[in-house]
Amino acid sequence: MSIPGTTVVLGYCDLAAAGARLLHHIYVQDAALIESSLTVLGLTVAIRTYVQTSVSFVVVRDPVPDALCTAFAAELTDLLVGKRVVLLTAPNVPLPSADERFVFWTQYHATAPLSELSS
């Protein structure tokens, strides 16, 4: 069980499932794409890897139950050892799906454009 790539952008869904929809808004032009998933303590983690950039987008699709939080975080941390990680957070206000991609991109574009994440 592993997460490919040297750089990982990690998103955690909120109860409105904004994290799961995040995968639909991200793409890298002309990059080969590999879709995969992992099961960590019974929870599915979706992975989208752009091979040429060595960047993976990882989304925890379902809320982690309170009883599993510590163990899940430990397992996920072990999978991320040695990688550069950017953590995405969803705003606490409902957004139309059409607007989500702009919020997620502008949160990080100014400080870490995607082209610089893999260098």
Q: What is the pLDDT along the chain (119 residues), one digit of tens a residue?
A: 789 989 888 877 653 355 555 556 666 666 788 889 999 999 988 888 887 778 888 888 777 888 888 899 899 999 999 998 887 765 555 556 666 555 544 444 444 444 444 44
In the chain, DSSP assigns E strands to 7-12, 33-40, 43-50, 55-60, 84-88
- Within 5-106, strands assigned E span 7-12, 33-40, 43-50, 55-60, 84-88
- The pTM assigned to this predicted structure is 0.64
What pLDDT is stored for residue 42 in this prediction?
Answer: 92
Structural domains in the chain plus CATH codes: 7-112 (3.40.50.10900)
